Chains A and B, each alone.
Chain A
Amino acid sequence: MSQRWVELRRREMASLLQPERVLYLVHGEKKIRSPLSQLYFCRYCSELRSLECVSHEVDSHYCPSCLENMPSAEAKLKKNRCANCFDCPCCMHTLSTRATNIPAPLPDDPTKTAMKKAYYLACGFCRWTSRDVGMADKSVASGGWQEPENPHTQRINKLIEYYQQLAQREKLERDRKKLARRRPFMPLAFSQHTIHVVEKYGLGTRLQRTRPGAPITSLAGLSLKEGEDQKEINIEPAQALDEVEPLPEDCYTRPINLPEGTTLRQRLLQPDFQPAGASQLHPKHKHLLIKRSLRCRKCEHNLSKPEFNPTSIKFKIQLVAVSYIPEVRIMSIPNLRFQKESQVLLTLTNPVENITHVTLVACEEGDPEDINSTAKVMVPIKELVLAGKDAAAEYDELAEPQDFQDDPDVVAFRKSNKIGFFIKVVPQREGLGDVTVSFKIRHDFRNLAAPIRPSEEGDASTEAIWLTHHVELNLGPLAP
């Protein structure tokens, strides 16, 4: 009996640490509510940023199974596929190369047979092997496997060339028209102007880089030299056929053999062939993954830049919110009852090394950011002081514990850079649905990124600014 109670308590405590219980509001183009662990902090703008208000850029390409880095140009040439690794066409797992010994006649003496190693591809998950599709075993461990050629490659390449040329021609015409009309139309939308000017000279704003549907701009920057013969590429138009292949006669009567056919997913992963039978499924090279870097849209500073090495998970630049903003976490929730006041225990953790002062302010009536709360909350009025994060504190025996003189009604406990404090919650809505409260947290932030101005005396570089964040907590359902 007590073991079950311990298990239930443990599960309840673990669910309080779920990240979605505490949400911070991000002011961006869209108002996004997200846990602090998924947010970034631009210390130049001193604002929280979410994944939707930063621009994502491709940093490097790498293969997820052989962890080989690939330069972007090579990746583009190989259509973002790894040269060595294959995917199982059946279950999309990574294929491994296995060896068997087969007796093979020696090249010098056909009568004697020696054991030669033959390699084939096999999947450890669904037990698919390359022998299932009739691919012969290769004598080399890697590099012997070829993807089958697309029968339509030539036609597709020709079409691409023709349309690239067409796009280039259209672009030049458009540029010419714009140049002619430029003077009387000065108040044209600024974005259109920059796009036009920028494209011609080959620079690129972030927004212009890859827009789907835009004509291929890789060739458009080149201008036609005088006297150069422009190759006229003609394509034959596609011909519509009147007759379609008839269905086989036993189409309706033949019993379906499920393992023989391919699933839609298997079929669509091979867009060149889209085979209907499982015996036509050939392995494809593995898709590369990317490492991306994030950039603040307002100040164009990098927020997150991973290391170049695919085996390393560290970051060169890592401006994540949890290392700058104090984090609120729910520690324990009593039974919540409709219109009865209960005390909820929360913790605040200070991520920086200097002392932080935090003030909590309840949301006012009619606050436009306060849309989700279903309960009234009374936060501590006094300012909470958080000690700095000191990594060496546990080893330093002689350190005197700092005396903060906490009010025991407000502060439940204090442990290095963390304090536990109480808030009073009065649920206002009865019935099903979670009790949510929100309040504002105001803390001081010392911007170490700002450049030290040599002209000003004193601590201009460590001037504190006050930041305010809107926090929402999900306290779970009312007690039954």
Chain B
Amino acid sequence: QAQKTNPSAKIAAGAVVCVESEIRGDVTIGPRTVVHPKARIIAEAGPIIIGEGNLIEEQALIINSYPENIMPDTEGVEPKSMTIGINNVFEVGCVSQALQIGDNNVIESKADLGRNVVLTSGCIVGACCQVNTCEVIPENTVIYGSNSMRRLQTERPQPQTLQLDFLMKILPNYHHMKKAVKVTSTPVRNQAVTH
């Protein structure tokens, strides 16, 4: 089965990235991160750096796209890189364009994050909530409800270590994985991992 080669994707060892996921552009994925099939990580307007221990579920879209009023071919536009910290959870169907995401955040199903939002740590963006303001969300904020109400919670969401361990064991049994690519070596043609 021929794989699509993506020479600029840097997948660390220990990361579990399914072959059915779409990774385009300059994307770095840290160890112990799980990327489910049909997840999409697209680095159009700049590189994406994803830390370790993240969980990116099906149909999640992490995209570093051009801002709306700038055409892709405009000159003099600096590519901004998107950083995602550790232990974040991107649930099914969410869309994240936020350039900076900290640690231990949970972005629930079908949530929508705009480009100018900065998530710090411990934030929970509820299901179907759209956050497209230009602000820094304080730590431990919960955004929930149809009106995207906010409140502070006293505890951070726990890192999903149990879930991550389980998935790292089970996913390779049912899906082909993208092979880990070392950052320094020349790009290797992705091969199917067979069991």
A interface residue numbers (CB < 8 A to B):
90-91, 125-129, 131-132, 258-260, 263, 278
Contact = CB atoms under 8 A, between A and B. Distances in A.
A341 to B, nearest CB: 47
Contacts of B192: none
Interface string B122-166: 001010000000000000011011000111111101000000000
A126 B126 CA distance: 8
Contacts of A260: 152
Contacts of B152: 259-260
Contacts of B150: 258-259
Contacts of A125: 126, 144-145
A131 B155 contact: yes
B153 A129 contact: yes
Contact of A91 (B124, B145, B154): B145
Contacts of A278: 151
Interface in B152-194: 152-155, 157
B154 A132 contact: yes
Is the contact region of chain B dominated by helix, strand, or loop, or is it mixed? Answer: strand
Contacts of B155: 129, 131
17 contacts: A91-B144, A91-B149, A125-B126, A126-B142, A126-B144, A126-B149, A126-B151, A127-B144, A127-B153, A129-B153, A129-B154, A129-B155, A131-B154, A259-B151, A259-B152, A263-B149, A278-B151
A126 B127 CA distance: 10
Interface of B: 124, 126, 141-142, 144-145, 149-155, 157
A126 B154 CA distance: 12
A259 B138 CA distance: 11
B126 A90 contact: no
Nearest to B138: A259
Contacts of B142: 126-127
Contacts of B151: 90, 126, 128, 259, 278
Nearest to A132: B154
A67 B155 CA distance: 32
Contacts of A91: 144-145, 149
A420 B141 CA distance: 58
Nearest to A125: B144
A82 to B, nearest CB: 24
Contacts of A258: 150
A131 B152 CA distance: 13
Shortest 9 CB-CB distances between A and B: which pairs? A126-B144, A259-B151, A259-B152, A127-B142, A132-B154, A127-B153, A259-B150, A127-B124, A125-B144
Contacts of B153: 127-129, 132
Contacts of A128: 151, 153
A258 B152 CA distance: 10
A259 B141 contact: yes
B135 to A, nearest CB: 13
Contacts of A131: 154-155
A104 B142 CA distance: 31
A132 B126 CA distance: 19
User: Which of A131, A132, A259, A260 has most B Cβ within 10 Å?
Assistant: A259
A278 to B, nearest CB: 7
Nearest to B145: A91
A128 to B, nearest CB: 7
B11 to A, nearest CB: 32
A141 B152 CA distance: 26
Contacts of B141: 259
Given A125-B126, A129-B154, A260-B152, 12 more contacts: A91-B144, A125-B144, A125-B145, A126-B144, A126-B145, A126-B149, A127-B124, A127-B144, A128-B153, A129-B153, A258-B150, A259-B141
A259 B143 CA distance: 10
A120 B152 CA distance: 18
Contacts of A132: 153-154
A432 to B, nearest CB: 31
B193 to A, nearest CB: 36
Name, among B126, B141, B142, the residue most crowded by chain A CB atoms within 10 Å (CB to CB).
B142
A103 to B, nearest CB: 18
Contacts of B157: 127
Contacts of B144: 91, 125-127
A259 B144 CA distance: 12
A258 B138 CA distance: 12
A259 B150 CA distance: 6
A90 B142 CA distance: 12
A470 to B, nearest CB: 40
B55 to A, nearest CB: 18
Contacts of B126: 125-126
Contacts of B124: 127
Contacts of A127: 124, 142, 144, 153, 157
A131 B153 CA distance: 10
Nearest to B154: A132
Contacts of A126: 126, 142, 144-145, 149, 151
A440 B152 CA distance: 61
A340 to B, nearest CB: 45
Interface centre among A91, A260, A263 (most CB of B within 10 A): A91
A337 B178 CA distance: 61
A125 B153 CA distance: 13
A90 B150 CA distance: 10
A128 B155 CA distance: 10
